[in-house]
Amino acid sequence: MPRGSEVLRRTGGRTVKSIVYDEAAIAKKVAELGAEITRAYPDGELLVLGLLKGSFIFLGDLVRKIERPLQVDFLVASSYGSGTTSSGDVRLLYDPETRLEGKHLVLVEDIVDTGNTLRKLLGVLRERAPASLAICALLDKVAMHEPMPEVRFVGFEAPTAFLVGYGLDHAEDFRHLPFIADLM
């Protein structure tokens, strides 16, 4: 399997400045988060809900580290429309088919950036009466948003750089990278 610069050469000619979190660091953190979630929910129905597209790789690795029965579903939310900046109007483009009422809900996000989409989305999810609601984010750009008490499970406090890899993208590129890097 190609590593480092070999993988980077295959990303359409674009390069990254540096690797911020390598494969080993990510794997270790995902295992820790899985164990933490297992301890936090010893009983009751657990639904792990992935916010697509960015969370799909993280979610796939994470659920295999949670050592208890669970269900998985996904949702897609948009606040951008056809523009490049958030409109502030969050729309569900794909609504989870799983019943949320009475379940412990862990919303899995790749990165918490400004937190605006998540704040609005949490209101929508709370209306469905889950037993509990928490966010699990691999990356949290704490410096970019106001405190969000629902971010219960955090992998890394992320730098303010534009990050790609391990599900994170730039114009749909770079998601396939096995590490997280700072895009040049």
pLDDT tens digit sequence for 33-57: 999 999 999 999 999 999 988 899 9
109 close to 59: Cβ distance less than 8 angstroms: no
Q: Is 113 an annotated catalytic residue? A: yes
Identify the segments of the chain with pLDDT beneath 50: 1-2, 4-10, 80-87
Q: What pLDDT does residue 97 have?
A: 75
Q: What pLDDT does residue 19 have?
A: 93
What fold is seen in the domain 22-74+97-162? Rossmann fold (3.40.50)
- The residue from 43, 113, 140, 173 that is catalytic is 113
Q: What pLDDT does residue 113 have?
A: 81
pLDDT tens digit sequence for 20-39: 999 999 999 999 999 999 99
